[in-house]
């Protein structure tokens, strides 16, 4: 994705990636677009431009790279953040992470309600204990609403959940 000068240009580039991730995982495209916009400064951050990491995904355990189909183990900014081969990999890895990190399980019940999904995942993604994250959910919800991102969410009949990414207990989407 090339750095975008405007939010509309960013959204136009991010939407197909977010919709592919939604098609495969059920995670709302609107949420993926909003969070990536916030985390990457609308694609302008150094991490997004040079590491193709649009969600601030950290490296974590070295063993994670071996089992991750989208992250090859490369890092950026002193080994702190994941570096991806493509922006698509960043979107798919982030969506996949909702299923691989058990702390996100409460949010998965709200895959068909993007606003409730954001509120349920915010305590994990941006803990209230960190004052810098106090308004995280509010910022994501504002981007979601201000730019009408719900229009990018796919209806359940257009989902083709990937069984290698979505565990059996989560394959049904109501």
> At residue 14, does pLDDT exceed 80?
yes
> What are the phi and psi torsion angles at 33 (to 5°)?
-65, -50
More confident residue, 26 or 124: 26
Residue at 103 is within a domain = yes
51 vs 62, more confident: 51
More reliable by pLDDT, 171 or 13:
13
Residue 163 forms part of a structural domain: yes
Assigned domain for 16 exists: yes
For residues 125 and 106, give the distance between their C-alpha atoms in angstroms, rounded to a whole number. 12
Please tell me the predicted confidence (pLDDT) of residue 103. 85
pTM of the full structure: 0.91
> What DSSP letter does each residue of the chain carry, written as one string?
-PPPSSHHHHHHHHHHHHHHHHHHH---HHHHHHHHHHHHTTTTSHHHHHH--SS--B---THHHHH-SS--S-EETTTTEE--SSHHHHHHHHHHHHHHSGGGHHHHTTTT-HHHHHHHHHHHHS-TTSGGGTTHHHHHHHHHHHTTGGGGPPPGGG----TTTS-GGG----
Dist CA 7 CA 12 (whole Å): 9
* CATH at 124: 1.10.530.10
Across the strands, what pairs with 58? 81
Please provide the average confidence, as pLDDT, over all residues in the chain: 87
Q: Residue 20 domain-assigned?
A: yes
Percent of the chain with pLDDT over 70: 86
CA 73, distance to chain mean position in Å, is 18
Mean pLDDT confidence for 28-51: 94
Q: In this predicted model, what pLDDT tens digit does every residue of 111-153 receive, in sequence order? A: 999 999 998 988 776 655 566 666 888 899 999 999 999 999 9
Question: Sorting pLDDT into bands at 50, 70 and 90, what band is 3?
Answer: low
The pLDDT of residue 121: 86
pLDDT value at residue 10 = 95
Q: Which pLDDT score is estimated for 152?
A: 98
Which range of residues forms the domain containing residue 159? 7-48+97-167
Strand partners, 82: 75
β-sheet bridge partners, residue 75: 82
Split into its structural domains, the chain has a count of 1
- Tell whether 120 is covered by a domain: yes
Tell me which residue of 165, 113, 108, 169 sits closest to 141, measured CA to CA: 113
Q: Does 78 fall in a domain?
A: no
Residue 27 lies in a domain: yes
Q: What is the pLDDT of residues 79-114, one digit of tens each?
A: 889 999 999 999 999 999 999 888 888 899 999 999
**41 in any annotated domain:** yes
């Amino acid at each position: 994705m090339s750095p975008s000068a405007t939010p509309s240009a960013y959204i136009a580039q991010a939407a197909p990636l977010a919709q592919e991730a939604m098609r495969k995982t059920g995670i709302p495209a609107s949420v993926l677009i909003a969070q990536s916009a916030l985390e990457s400064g609308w694609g302008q951050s150094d991490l997004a431009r040079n590491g193709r990491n649009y969600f601030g995904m950290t490296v974590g355990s070295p063993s994670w790279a071996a089992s991750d189909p989208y992250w090859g183990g490369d890092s950026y900014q002193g080994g702190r953040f994941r570096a991806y081969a493509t922006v698509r990999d960043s979107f798919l890895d982030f969506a996949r992470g909702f299923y691989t990190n058990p702390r996100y399980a409460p949010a998965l019940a709200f895959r068909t309600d993007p606003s409730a999904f954001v509120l349920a995942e915010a305590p994990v993604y941006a803990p209230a204990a960190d004052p810098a994250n106090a308004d995280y959910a509010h910022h994501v919800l504002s981007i979601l609403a201000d730019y009408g991102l719900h229009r990018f969410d796919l209806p359940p009949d257009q989902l083709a959940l990937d069984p290698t990414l979505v565990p059996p207990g989560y394959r049904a989407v109501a």
